[in-house]
Chains A and B, each alone.
Chain A
């Protein structure tokens, strides 16, 4: 094979390998690690604004975490559990949201949802939340802060 053919073949193989490299990484076999259940509470703080609707994204950015359940928060005004995509269960990410059409709307920091998590592996999980939108009684977007707190894992 001539030098030109070798170079062409090498370029071709290189391109193919680069494409393969971009594909999904195969799941690694992990040694058995202690599994436990934990909770994460999600909060919205709308300061002085009355909160009528909220939507946020939660994700476990570190550790091996599966969302196994979602329940409402402790605000009596948001009586129903939040909306979420059932596909988020058994995943590490969820978008949750809820609204309240009553006249009694909370202000300040409100616990709006609790996530139940299955945590495995020795690595300590890391979580992140991001506000998608919060709205007032008129349905207008308002500025708000979202936060979370971890419950004790059992």
Chain B
């Protein structure tokens, strides 16, 4: 059976709000309880206004939550992408031959390797003029122990060359 036009919710919800409910419901309630208490239009408006305001707050909150989750997810994605990109972009250091610009780089070729230790050892053995900056272990003497410091720096395990 088709519902009378007056009792369809979709079309009449605004009007019902003003009249105090669907006609069928009002009639049924009147039959049970007699005529209801008179509610002034002003009170009715205030209740409706409060309800609308609460609904608007909920909608606003829902949108704020969506934007917040989206922003956090986007920020996390950007951070992770940056971390991963940076990690992969790090060049593998030549094994045992770190690129440097230091006193240990005796032959000034930009890396510390066994040739630096060799050249220093040869200079020491030949009693050539020794640079004070070669006192790598800071014991006040430039000797074979300083050569060992360079040699050990050269063979120190760093990034892999062999994969």
Q: List the interface of chain A (C-beta within 8 A of B).
A: 2, 4-5, 8-9, 11-12, 15-16, 18-19, 22, 52-55, 57, 59, 61, 82-85, 87-88, 91, 93-99, 101, 128-130, 132-133, 135, 139, 141
Contact = CB atoms under 8 A, between A and B. Distances in A.
A9 B117 CA distance: 57
Contacts of A99: 114-115, 117-118, 121, 151
Contacts of A22: 84
Contacts of B66: 2, 4-5, 8
* Most central of B117, B118, B156 by chain A CB within 10 Å: B118
B113 A55 contact: yes
B73 A12 contact: yes
Interface string B148-162: 100110111100111
A5 B70 CA distance: 8
B73 A11 contact: yes
Contacts of B95: 57, 95, 130, 132
20 contacts: A9-B73, A11-B73, A11-B77, A53-B118, A57-B161, A93-B160, A94-B157, A95-B95, A95-B154, A95-B156, A97-B113, A97-B117, A99-B114, A99-B115, A101-B122, A130-B161, A130-B162, A133-B115, A135-B114, A139-B122
Contacts of B107: 139
B144 to A, nearest CB: 11
A130 B160 CA distance: 11
Contacts of B25: none
Closest 9 A-B residue pairs measured CB to CB? A95-B96, A97-B114, A12-B73, A99-B118, A55-B114, A53-B118, A83-B151, A59-B162, A57-B95
A83 B152 contact: yes
Interface string B92-135: 00111100000000010000011101110110010000000000
Given A91-B157, A133-B113, 6 more contacts: A19-B84, A57-B161, A98-B114, A132-B114, A135-B115, A139-B115
Contacts of A8: 66, 69-70, 73
A55 B121 contact: no
Nearest to A57: B95
Contacts of A55: 96-97, 113-114, 154-155
Nearest to A60: B162
A98 B118 CA distance: 8
Given A5-B66, A18-B80, A97 B151 contact: yes
A80 to B, nearest CB: 10
Contacts of A132: 94-97, 113-114, 161
A97 B156 CA distance: 10
